[in-house]
Amino acid sequence: MSTELILSRHGRTVWHAENRYAGSSDVDLDDVGRRQAEQLATWAAAHRPDAFYCSPVRRARETAAPVAAALGAEPVVVDDLREVHFGVAEGLTIGEIREQLPDVARAFESDPVAGAFPEAEPTAGAAARAVAALQGIVAAHPDGRVLVVAHNTLFRLALCSLLGIPLADYRIVLPRLDNGTLTRLRFTGGRAALLSFNVPLP
């Protein structure tokens, strides 16, 4: 028996268009993000996942709304699918952090685990809750195909944990997930295999 998870990063917001750290901040989708949400709804209507989950953060719920309309079913909202909180970096670009907090930027870019932003959620803790959330979804849907709408850093940390990649390397090995893309994982016997990564919707 195996379960396939289709991980979709939420649609774009104004902050993401400017590459700002949004983290736990609530930021609305922009026009591009709303189109990406509609594209995901079209995909979901064609592929009909067995279940549908999303983060509680507003940009994820706004992405999930047209999908819910297309499927005729509301997503299951899981608090542990929320994005990592980035502390003092929330609302800033990496360029602004380098300018305003150069020591903080250097520490983070050297090792985003040991040098996590001040006041940020610990990286290992965020990875652990992300993995637990995904494993809980897998356990609830043996042999199922499940769509999960959540976040860039959260998903990358979960992927590293599941695939045996050191968390400190997540920004190097998995540079980013673009808004509105799909990543597929297959879980068999408790182990995860990466089937595709960061694939744009048609």
Domains of the chain: 2-200 (3.40.50.1240)
Q: Which residues are annotated as a binding site?
A: 59
CA–CA distance, 9 with 13 (Å, rounded to integer): 12
Rounded alpha-carbon distances, angstroms, from residue 65 to 39, 61, 183, 185, 190: 12, 6, 20, 23, 31
Coil, helix or strand at residue 83: coil
Q: Which residues are annotated as a binding site for substrate?
A: 59
Which are the catalytic amino acids? 10, 83
Would you give per-residue pLDDT tens digits along the chain (202 residues)? 899 999 999 999 999 999 999 999 999 999 999 999 999 999 999 999 999 999 999 999 999 999 999 999 999 999 999 999 999 999 999 999 999 999 999 999 999 999 999 999 999 999 999 999 999 999 999 999 999 999 999 999 999 999 999 999 999 999 989 999 999 999 999 899 999 999 999 8
